[in-house]
């Protein structure tokens, strides 16, 4: 499928990215701007012919048709027979039908209920059964029911003016222990967030939280401290959560795409309904851009095509997401689920084995922290890691403008350094006074940067709720386009099932209730070790 691009790569792979800037218009030509954002992919080895080939690939793979199918409610999640309509959640005034039924009245009603609840809670109208004001909220969920709101509550901390929001995800008892240790159960609301309401981690933590609340306020009052976010209303009722505090959603919202609806309740509580609406509006604006912008003007399309170029054509196995924004420190984790759970597949939609690589490994940390840790490998390691930088032109701290300037200078310096590198001559010049002869050359070689390493940079004015919505929707659509080009189903996640099944079987073995006989030698050895030291 990538033959044309691979042959093209063979003809351009040895050239220097820096030399492409002999074209004075390169930066502008290889950038896209929309909605106040600038996406600059000029520091890559992409030229006009590369881009034409990539755009032709997107056409040939039917990205535009598939995109319309998604937005209009077709069941593009073909292995689960579901529509994919997280976009409907952020466009409450829109209109979409699934199986002949308009889904929007339900979306609008749930959003209004969430808003009424969040406003009441924030305003002190909704109190504990004992009449106390809720000071803290714990969202108990995992994966798509945790990463989105946890990332966004931190990202939008400057807008936080509601109860404090905390997140518990891990089944490791240390997580809920440490979070609850710092809180007062008498003034804490627990939101149990689980699309299926069967996820073992979440249900286990929810029971622990219920015991913690009940021990402080009594069994009868405990229920008044709980709300639920789920598409399984039977199970939320079984758990005993009053339906007035249950916010449901449909199966056409995938877990890792769900923060735009009820799963975003903790974010709405933290920043308020108006800012949550602004977040939705940002997502909707990006949807509109994605649906209407042509070819190279389309930012999600170009972000995806740069990804395809680096991963499938150039064979770079990973990509680093490097936000120069401390408040986006959970963004790489969020994107790991979004990208790797969506596009980490080995078969195409029709079940045939792929004969090319699926999605890349995605990883990252905020800058500048990463610079003092793993950037060494990015600059001098033998493997090329395409980097995706992002930074706001302005910070939220007017008194610390000089720090923001330093942050931005570092961000720009890294992409420049990756491209430019440092030659042996330059490195020799750096140490010429200190060494001589063979030792001079040896020392200089350690200081050479090959350079010619690709990166993209996304810049935006300020990380507002609307801008965060734009960024998240941008990445969602990037994943969508890459998935369509790869011919896979980006909306299922069968790859998480086997481990869950084996964990269920191993539970009684680890607890010493069943024998490990029949397990492989390594598993038996590990179980033996655990039994020796657990008690
Ligand atoms: O929201 P839940 O049903 O509890 O699911 C939570 C998470 O666990 C699953 O195993 C999936 O891998 C994720 O896509 C999902 O977001």
Q: If DSSP codes are grouped into helix, strand and coil, which group holds residue 188?
A: strand
The catalytic residue among 132, 207, 394, 500 is 500
* Residue in the block written with tokens 């659509």: 477
Q: Which atom of ligand 1 is found nearest the CA of 230?
A: 1
Per DSSP, the three-state class of 138 is strand
pLDDT tens profile 5-32: 999 999 999 999 999 999 999 999 999 9
Spatial distance between the Cα atoms of 131 and 136, rounded to a whole number of angstroms = 15
Per-residue pLDDT for 120 more than 90? Answer: yes
256 CA distance to ligand 1 centroid (A)? Answer: 8
Ligand 1 atom 10: residue of nearest CA: 496
**Residue 448 in tokens:** 């050479």
pLDDT digits (tens, 9 = 90+) for 318-369: 999 999 999 999 999 999 999 999 999 999 999 999 999 999 999 999 999 9
How far apart are alpha carbons 15 and 49 in whole angstroms?
15
In ligand 1, which atom is closest to the CA atom of 145?
A: 1
Residue with the smallest CA separation from ligand 1 atom 7 is 143
Instruction: Tell me the Ramachandran region of residue 55: left when phi exceeds 0, alpha when psi lies from -120 to 50, beta otherwise.
Output: alpha
Using a 6 Å CB cutoff, which residues line ligand 1? Answer: 142-145, 194-196, 199, 202, 255-256, 341, 493, 496
For the CA of 263, the nearest atom of ligand 1 = 1
Residue 272 CA, ligand 1 centroid: distance in Å: 26
pLDDT of residue 467: 99
Find out whether 303 and 478 touch, Cβ atoms under 8 Å. yes
Atom of ligand 1 nearest to the CA of 141: 4
Q: Which pLDDT does position 1 carry in this prediction?
A: 78
Which residues in 299-332 are b (16+ Cβ under 10 Å) and which e?
bbbbbbbbbbbbbbbbebeebbbbbbbebbbbbb
Report CA(41)–ligand 1 centroid distance (Å): 33
394 has catalytic annotation? no
Asked if 228 contacts 192 with a C-beta cutoff of 8 angstroms, the reply is: yes
pLDDT at position 535 over 90: no
Q: Quick check: is 341 catalytic? A: yes
Average pLDDT on 48-72 reads 98
Mutate to test the pocket of ligand 1, among 139, 142, 258 (most ligand atoms within 8 A of CB): 142
pLDDT, one tens digit per residue, over 165-183 is 999 999 999 999 999 999 9
Alpha carbons 453 and 147: distance in angstroms, whole number: 30
Of all protein residues, the one whose alpha carbon is nearest to atom 11 of ligand 1 is 143
pLDDT of residue 462: 98
Give the residue, out of 77, 79, 86, 144, with the most ligand 1 atoms within 8 A of its beta carbon, to mutate for a pocket test.
Answer: 144
Residue nearest to atom 13 of ligand 1 (CA): 143
Beta partners for residue 362, in sequence order? 319
498 Cα to the center of ligand 1, angstroms: 14
With a cut of 90, say whether residue 196 has pLDDT above it: yes
Distance CA 56, CA 301 (A): 12
Contact 328, 157 (CB under 8 A): no
Which of 341, 365, 476, 482 does the annotation list as catalytic? 341
For the whole model, what pTM was predicted?
A: 0.97
- If you ran DSSP here, which 8-state letter would residue 257 be given? G
Q: How far is the CA of 254 from the centre of ligand 1 (A)?
A: 9
What DSSP string runs through 267-303? Answer: HHHHH-HHHHHHHHHHHHHHHHHHHH--GGG-HHHHH
List the catalytic residue out of 3, 372, 402, 513: 372
Mapped onto helix, strand or coil, the DSSP state of residue 497 is helix
> What's the N-to-C CA distance of the chain in angstroms?
56
Ligand 1 centroid, distance to 196 Cα (angstroms) = 8
In this predicted structure, the answer to whether residue 152 has a pLDDT above a threshold of 90 is yes
Q: Whose CA is nearest to atom 9 of ligand 1?
A: 143
- Known catalytic membership, residue 500: yes
C-alpha pair distances (Å), 167 with each of 139, 202, 292: 5, 11, 37
Q: Is 95 helix (H, G, I), strand (E, B) or coil?
A: coil
- Helix-helix angle 273-292:104-123, to 10 degrees: 150
Which residue carries 């007062």 as its tokens? 184
Cα 141 to middle of ligand 1, angstroms? 8
Report the percentage of the chain scoring pLDDT > 70: 100
Question: What pLDDT was estimated at residue 402?
Answer: 98
Comparing C-alpha atoms, which of 366, 349, 348, 365 is closest to residue 357?
Answer: 348
Mean pLDDT value across the chain: 97
| Residues 463-495 pLDDT 10s | 999 999 999 999 999 999 999 999 999 999 999
Å from CA of 145 to ligand 1 middle: 7
Residues facing 458 on adjacent strands? 39, 390
**Whose CA is closest to 69, among 89, 93, 85, 90?**
85
**Burial of residue 246 (number of CB atoms within 10 Å: 0-12, 13-18, 19+):** buried
| CB distance 155 to 468 below 8 Å | yes
Percent helix / strand / coil, the chain, rounded to 5? 55, 10, 30
**Distance (Å) of CA 35 to CA 38, 43, 459, 463:** 9, 22, 11, 13
CB 49 within 8 A of CB 8: yes
pLDDT at 466: 98
pLDDT at 107 over 90: yes
254 Cα nearest atom in ligand 1: 14
Sequence-ordered strand ranges (E) for 420-491:
455-460
Q: Which atom of ligand 1 lies at the shortest distance from residue 202's CA?
A: 4
Query: How many angstroms separate the CA atoms of 346 and 355, rounded?
Result: 9
Q: Which atom of ligand 1 is nearest to the CA of 337?
A: 14
Whose Cα sits closest to atom 14 in ligand 1?
A: 255
Alpha-carbon distance values, 71 to 65, 67, 76, 146, 294 (Å) = 10, 6, 10, 25, 17
* Burial call 462-499: b when 16+ CB within 10 Å, e when fewer: ebbbbbbbbbbbbbbbbbbbbbbbbbbbbbbbeeeeee
Q: How far is CA 339 from CA 173, 267, 353, in A?
A: 28, 22, 20
67: CA distance to ligand 1 center in Å? 24
Average pLDDT of span 376-389: 98
Closest CA to 46 of 66, 67, 32: 32
Taking residues 503-522, what's their average pLDDT? 96
């Amino acid at each position: 499928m990538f033959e044309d691009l691979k042959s093209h790569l063979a003809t351009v792979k040895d050239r220097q990215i820096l030399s492409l800037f002999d074209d004075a218009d390169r930066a502008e030509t290889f950038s896209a701007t929309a909605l106040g954002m600038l996406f600059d992919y000029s520091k890559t080895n992409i030229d006009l012919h590369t881009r034409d080939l990539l755009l032709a690939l997107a056409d040939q793979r039917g990205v535009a048709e598939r995109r319309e199918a998604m937005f209009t409610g077709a069941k593009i999640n073909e292995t689960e027979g579901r529509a994919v309509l997280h976009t409907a959640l952020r466009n409450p005034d829109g209109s979409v039908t699934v199986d002949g039924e308009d889904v929007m009245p339900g979306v609008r009603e749930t959003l209004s209920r969430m808003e009424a609840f969040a406003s009441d809670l924030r305003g002190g109208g909704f109190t504990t059964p004992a009449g106390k004001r809720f000071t803290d909220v714990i969202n108990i969920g995992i994966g798509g029911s945790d990463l989105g709101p946890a990332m966004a509550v931190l990202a939008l901390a400057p807008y936080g003016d509601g109860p404090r929001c905390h997140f518990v995800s891990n089944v490791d008892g240390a997580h809920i222990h440490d979070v609850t240790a710092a809180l007062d159960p008498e003034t804490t609301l627990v939101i149990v967030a689980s699309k299926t309401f069967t996820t073992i981690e979440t249900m286990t933590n929810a029971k622990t939280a219920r015991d913690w609340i009940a021990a402080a306020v009594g069994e009868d009052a405990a229920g008044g401290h709980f709300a639920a976010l789920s598409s399984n209303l039977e199970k939320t009722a079984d758990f005993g959560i009053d339906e007035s505090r249950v916010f449901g959603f449909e199966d056409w919202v995938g877990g890792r795409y769900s923060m735009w609806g009820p799963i975003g309740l903790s974010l709405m509580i933290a920043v308020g309904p108006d800012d949550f609406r602004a977040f939705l509006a940002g997502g909707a604006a990006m949807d509109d851009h994605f649906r209407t912008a042509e070819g190279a003007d389309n930012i999600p399309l170009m972000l995806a095509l740069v990804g395809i170029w680096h991963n499938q054509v150039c064979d770079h196995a990973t990509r680093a997401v490097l936000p120069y924004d401390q408040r986006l420190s959970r963004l790489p984790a969020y994107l790991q689920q979004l990208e790797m759970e969506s596009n980490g597949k080995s078969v195409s939609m029709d079940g045939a084995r792929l004969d090319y690589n699926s999605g890349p490994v995605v990883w990252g940390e905020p800058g500048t922290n990463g610079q003092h840790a793993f950037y060494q490998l990015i600059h001098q390691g033998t493997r090329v890691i395409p980097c995706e930088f992002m930074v706001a032109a302005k910070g939220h701290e007017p008194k610390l403008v000089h720090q923001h300037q330093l942050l931005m200078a570092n961000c720009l310096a890294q992409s420049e350094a990756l491209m430019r590198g440092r030659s042996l001559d330059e490195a020799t010049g750096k140490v010429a006074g200190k060494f001589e002869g063979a030792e001079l050359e040896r020392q200089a070689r350690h200081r050479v940067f090959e350079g010619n390493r690709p990166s993209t940079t996304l810049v935006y004015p300020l990380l507002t709720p609307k801008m965060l919505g734009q960024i998240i929707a941008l990445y969602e659509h990037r994943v969508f386009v890459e998935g369509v080009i790869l011919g896979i189903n980006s909306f299922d996640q069968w790859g998480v099932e086997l481990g869950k099944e084996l964990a269920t079987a191993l539970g009684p073995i680890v607890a010493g209730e069943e024998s490990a006989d029949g397990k492989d030698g390594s598993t038996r050895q590990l179980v033996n070790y655990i039994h020796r030291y657990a008690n």
